[in-house]
Amino acid sequence: MTAQLGDLASLVAGQLSGDSTIPISGAAVLAQAKAGEITLADSDPFLSQLGNTSASAAIVPRDAQTDALPCIAVENVHNAFATIVEHFRPRRKQGLAGVSPAATVDPSVNVQADVTIHPGATVGAGVSLGARCEIHSGAAIMAGTQLGEDVIVFPNAVLYEDTVVGSRVLIHASAVIGAFGFGYQIENGKHQRSPQLGFVQLGDDVEVGAGTTIDRGTYGPTVIGEGTKIDNQVMIGHNCQIGRHNIICSQVGVAGSASTGDYVILAGQAGVRDHVTLGDRVRVGAKSGVMNDVPADTTMIGSPAMKEREFFYQAVHQRRLPNMHKQLKSIQRFIDEMESS
Amino acid sequence: MTAQLGDLASLVAGQLSGDSTIPISGAAVLAQAKAGEITLADSDPFLSQLGNTSASAAIVPRDAQTDALPCIAVENVHNAFATIVEHFRPRRKQGLAGVSPAATVDPSVNVQADVTIHPGATVGAGVSLGARCEIHSGAAIMAGTQLGEDVIVFPNAVLYEDTVVGSRVLIHASAVIGAFGFGYQIENGKHQRSPQLGFVQLGDDVEVGAGTTIDRGTYGPTVIGEGTKIDNQVMIGHNCQIGRHNIICSQVGVAGSASTGDYVILAGQAGVRDHVTLGDRVRVGAKSGVMNDVPADTTMIGSPAMKEREFFYQAVHQRRLPNMHKQLKSIQRFIDEMESS
Amino acid sequence: MTAQLGDLASLVAGQLSGDSTIPISGAAVLAQAKAGEITLADSDPFLSQLGNTSASAAIVPRDAQTDALPCIAVENVHNAFATIVEHFRPRRKQGLAGVSPAATVDPSVNVQADVTIHPGATVGAGVSLGARCEIHSGAAIMAGTQLGEDVIVFPNAVLYEDTVVGSRVLIHASAVIGAFGFGYQIENGKHQRSPQLGFVQLGDDVEVGAGTTIDRGTYGPTVIGEGTKIDNQVMIGHNCQIGRHNIICSQVGVAGSASTGDYVILAGQAGVRDHVTLGDRVRVGAKSGVMNDVPADTTMIGSPAMKEREFFYQAVHQRRLPNMHKQLKSIQRFIDEMESS
């Protein structure tokens, strides 16, 4: 599928500079674009690379100054480029909505309009599926779970019993919502499991990454607040109360009964100790380990985590250590000489 | 479903103080309890919060001194509260035991009494399932695997060929038992896979968290000892020999051929190097990285991990560093003056 | 199944020293071998343990000097031992190739010769499966995905739309290839998802561990180079360009748009920051966190990661800190006395 550059400019309502008849056969980012393809440059560092690309044209911001190659100038570079990528690689047409005969759906399930259930999915007793929900193959929606509208559950994700899910929630493949919490009391030398009577509650617009696990509460809900986005392979322990609009990056672990305010950011591989409370807009650096409560608007780094300023203060002194050692030796020599004289 | 407080007191054989006719509509923990609900307070810090809760009643220990609100005093607060939670949110009745026609079960499978196999599960050739085992939807029990009695395999967990599982074992959703070990030799610039002839053996009463992976041994078994509890997203490498009654928290990684004694505790996100041996009752702190063998009854912290005492000793000196730097500067100034005079 | 030692020697074309009629009933590694079993010792530390084993015989290297027990000397100890293990525990015969009627395969799927699709697998529209591919139960191969020859997809792995897979690729259970990247822009206080128009491309001979997740690119491919081996529970972010013949150990996280050269090694639980570039043959230590670009042939350790030499240099000074503190106190005392006198 080839297009002329002028047609692409029209498609994105952009300002063309260059030959409108140039044939364009695909779209790719700068590092990968080949001759005949269109690329994008959204800011100066990338604009300055346009002279070296093999691409035949570029999408650039309206105010960009470049004559390295034919360009389409637009208000929002990423929106325009996405439109062009979709032109060359059109989104797959969704099959008709409906419940596959190869899915296993309990007769008691409450299915709203335009729900899609793919082959191999299982939906348990008393489940409720809001309008336009899509349950992919192999996903298991266990008994009593409630889904809002426009929820997508990708293949092989598992929602244990009585999970409560808001609207417009995405749950990626192999995520597990509502498994047992990790709590034991030792009795006669054996670990006895604590009660597992709670469930998980996901607010509206929550997204849960592939392979992420969120454990059920002991007696009540583990809560993920509305608008919070969770990356792949994150672990949220039992009874956690995660606030709204958090960003929780890949491989983060939040231990049981911890809680976060709104707009908290946890960077990759960070950990939060059990029962710790993080205030609104707290930011935790990658690989950091938070051991104590953190007040709002604080950035924490390190393991154990400390305030950003303190972390860098310590790091500076750390680097001075070898010089301090040398200086100390020379002073000692001086003093030894004084004493012996 | 509403109950009177007196009825709940009878249900848990507790000592009521307060009006027995108070209507109670639900049960929730202190942080979430609303008016009309009963909550729990198992120790002083929580007892002292009873004055501020909206809850209408509380379960408290027998010796608790509180008149903040109507109470039911019991020997074991958690057991009593669990009973009341189950009263308000009764456990779902399990469907009839049996093998679903929508499961794929090899004709050679040995199925003992009261086994349940849910729709979409697959059970391979030569598998043996002990009495009262439950295999949830989408779980794959591959050929030759042997399960003891009362084993529960949750949805979409995978047991590779020839896994050996004891009795009363729980395997949570998306756990993977028996995938290939990560061992390669380089030949002609390419990584060649080492033999993958072993399997995984889980002792009685082992619990395996959601998304956890335990790799098969090279020639023989990777072993998880009886009573050991493993949280979500833990990685146990090939040939590991994990002892009995260990507690292995979320996101821990134990590299190939490592071994642990009994009652070992590995806190969240800790790592153990390959071929390392940990003695009985060793405790490893969160995010710590153990690089060498550790004798019994030792607590290790840090990365690389050191003995707890040493870790805190170093941490103290670390915090002194900025002051040491100042002191060193002032001494240097003094000496410089001495020398110049 | 019992064999005579002489028969095992013939089986592996080895040189027997000892009684050829000894009955051998199994094969196990040194730490686990019991009387009547044969074990292996591939190097001196293990050869010296042969005196203490209960095993009845051992496979040893050709030049080994040992008379502790009957031995079979061979050129390649591991190849010979693997042959003997397979003699005692023969590899399960694979069922006939073919597409199970209990699998869900779109009529548009292009199936080459000798493809096996197990019950409960789902294969979407436009998928292409090369010769001898095997798709295990519960695996989901979503629309448009292309597999080369001899690819094995283990149970419950998920390949999202348009994944491109080379030949001889292994994808272990519950791995997820092609889920959405974790990219958001904030608009009106809500996180808006960036475009998810790309896909994942796995080169020939790539192996992907259980529970590993590799996210799709924003506009184009996230690439894993040929021959690269990825362990369990690894996270590769969107747009990453991973080189050829890398070794990526368990629980490593590589953030979005990072890239690696060839023969890079990332040890367990390491992390690589987004947009960072690692040169050929870079090695990153366990639990290390790489924050900046790294030139070829460099070993990085620590978090934040530094060059190996620098890391050990700092570690040495770290250990000197308590002594430095003592020395500083004694110097201060000396100076205080001088000043007061």
Q: Which residues pair with B111 in a beta bridge?
A: B129
Q: Give the separation between CA C23 and CA A3, rounded to whole angstroms.
A: 76
Write out chain B residues lying below 8 Å of A321, CB-based. 321
Are residues A180 and A197 in contact, defined by beta-carbon separation less than 8 angstroms?
A: no
List chain A pLDDT tens, one digit each, 341 residues: 799 999 999 999 999 999 999 999 999 999 899 999 999 999 998 999 999 999 999 999 999 988 889 999 999 999 999 999 999 988 887 666 799 999 999 999 999 889 999 999 999 999 999 999 999 999 999 999 999 999 999 999 999 999 999 999 999 999 999 999 999 999 999 999 999 999 999 999 999 999 999 999 999 999 999 999 999 999 999 999 999 999 999 999 999 999 999 999 999 999 999 999 999 999 999 999 999 999 999 999 999 999 999 999 988 888 888 888 888 888 888 888 888 87
Which residues does chain B have within 8 Å of residue C118's beta carbon, measured at their own beta carbons? Answer: 122
pLDDT at B194: 92
Q: Which residues of C are catalytic?
A: 238
Say whether A87 is catalytic. no
Q: Taking CB atoms and an 8 Å limit, are C210 and B176 in contact across chains?
A: yes
Contacts of B241 in chain C (CB under 8 A): 31
pLDDT (average), residues C41-53: 92
- pLDDT score for B204: 98
User: How far separated are the first and last CA of chain C, in Å rounded?
Assistant: 92
Residue B318 neighbours by CB under 8 Å, 6+ apart: A314, C321
User: Which value does ipTM take for this structure?
Assistant: 0.94
Task: Give how far A172 is from chain C: nearest CA, Å.
Answer: 7
B198 pLDDT more than 80: yes
Q: Is A141 exposed, middle or buried (0-12, 13-18, 19+ CB in 10 A)?
A: buried
Q: Which residue has the higher pLDDT, B159 or B90?
A: B159
Q: What distance separates the 2 farthest-apart alpha carbons in chain A?
A: 99
With an 8 Å Cβ cutoff, are C233 and B218 in contact? no
Phi, psi of B329 (to 5 degrees): -65, -40
What confidence tens digit (pLDDT) does each residue in C96-110 have? 679 999 999 999 999
> Which subunits sit against B, judged by 3+ Cβ pairs under 8 A?
A, C
Whether the CA torsion B217, B225, C230, A210 is positive or negative: it is positive
Question: In chain B, what is the greatest distance between 2 CA atoms, to the nearest angstrom?
Answer: 99
Q: What is the dihedral of CA C172, C174, C179, C182, to 10 degrees?
A: -100
Q: Where are the alpha helices (DSSP H) in C58-201?
A: 77-88
Which structural domains are found in chain A, ordered by start? 3-88 (3.40.1390.10), 157-304 (2.160.10.10)
Of the residues A231, A242, A280, the best mutation for testing chain C's interface (the one with the most C CB atoms within 10 Å of its CB) is A231
Closest CA to A271 of A295, A302, A245, A298: A302
Each residue of B221-269: pLDDT tens digit? 999 999 999 999 999 999 999 999 999 999 999 999 999 999 999 999 9
- Residue (of B66, B68, B76, B77) closest to B27 by Cα position: B77
Amino acid found at A237 = G
Q: How confident is the model at residue B335 (pLDDT cuts 50, 70, 90)?
A: confident
Q: Where are the alpha helices (DSSP H) in chain A?
A: 5-11, 44-47, 77-88, 308-340
CB contact under 8 A, B320 and C325: yes
Q: Kindly report, residue by residue over B93-108, the tens digit of the pLDDT.
A: 766 679 999 999 999 9
In this complex, the residue of B194, B197, B233 whose CB is nearest that of residue C89 is B197
Question: How confident is the prediction for chain C on average, in pLDDT?
Answer: 95
Distance from CA of C264 to the nearest CA of A (A): 20
Length of chain B: 341
Chain A residue closest in CA terms to B38 = A219
Average of pLDDT values for C145-157? 98
> One-letter amino acid identity for A26?
G
Mutate to test the interface with B, among C250, C314, C325, C330 (most CBs of B within 10 A): C250
Active site residues of B: 238
pLDDT digits (tens, 9 = 90+) for C230-269: 999 999 999 999 999 999 999 999 999 999 999 999 999 9
Nearest CB neighbour to C156, from listed B104, B138, B239: B138
> C142 or C331: which carries more pLDDT confidence?
C142
Closest CA to C235 of C205, C206, C256, C204: C256
Q: Average pLDDT, stretch C59-88?
A: 93
Q: What are phi and psi of B324, to 5 degrees?
A: -60, -40
Residues A55/A30, Cβ–Cβ less than 8 Å? yes
């009684």: which residue's tokens? C19
Residue to substitute from C104, C122, C276, C307, interface A, most A β-carbons within 10 A:
C122
Q: How far is CA C120 from CA A309, C271, C291, in A?
A: 54, 36, 43
- Token pair recorded at residue B68: 């903040």
Residues 6+ apart with CB under 8 A from A187: none
More confident position, C57 or A335: C57
Decide: helix, strand or coil at residue B96: coil
Provide the sign of the torsion angle of the four alpha carbons A41, A43, A44, A46, taken in this order: negative
pLDDT for the residue A95: 66
At C95, is the pLDDT very low, low, confident or very high (cuts 50, 70, 90)? low
Here the tokens at position A112 are: 């709203």
Residue A151: strand, helix, or coil: coil
The predicted model gives C84-106 an average pLDDT of 87
Min CA distance, C187 vs chain B (Å)? 31
Q: What is the CA radius of gyration of chain C?
A: 28
- The residue to which tokens 């949570």 are assigned: B172
Task: Give the separation between CA B308 and CA C6, rounded to whole angstroms.
Answer: 54
Given A176, A239, A287, which is nearest B174 (Cβ)? A176
Claim: this prediction has a pTM higher than 0.90: yes
% of chain B with per-residue pLDDT over 70: 99
Residue C67: C-alpha distances to residues C50, C58, C70, C71, C72 (Å): 9, 11, 7, 8, 11
Instruction: For residue A182, list chain B residues with Cβ-Cβ distance below 8 A.
Output: 209, 229, 231-232, 249-250
Of C32, C156, C269, the CB nearest to B220: C32
- C contact chains, 3+ CB pairs < 8 A: A, B
3 state SS of B335:
helix
User: Which residues in A lie closer than 8 A to residue B136 (C-beta atoms)?
Assistant: 140
Q: Kindly state the tokens that stand for A24.
A: 């364009």
pLDDT above 80: residue C138: yes
Are the Cβ atoms of A229 and C197 closer than 8 angstroms? no
**According to the model, what pLDDT value does residue B28 have?**
94
When pLDDT is averaged across residues B121-128 and rounded to a whole number, the result is 96
User: What is the spatial distance between Cα C27 and Cα C67, in angstroms, rounded to a whole number?
Assistant: 19
Distance CA C72, CA C70 (A): 7
Chain B residue numbers with beta carbons less than 8 Å from the beta carbon of C325 are 317, 320, 324
- At residue A96, the pLDDT reads 64
From residue C188, give the alpha-carbon distance in Å to each of A229, A231, C191, C266, C313: 16, 21, 8, 39, 49
| Higher-scoring residue by pLDDT: A149, B330 | A149
Range with the lowest mean pLDDT among A298-302, B16-20, B235-239, B320-324?
A: B320-324
State residue C248 phi and psi, 5-degree precision. Answer: -120, 110
The answer for residues whose C-beta is within 8 angstroms of residue B207's C-beta and 6 or more apart is A180, A193, B169, B170, B171, B172, B228, B229, B230
At residue B33, the pLDDT reads 93
Please give the structure tokens belonging to residue B163.
């896994």
What pLDDT score was predicted for residue C315? 87
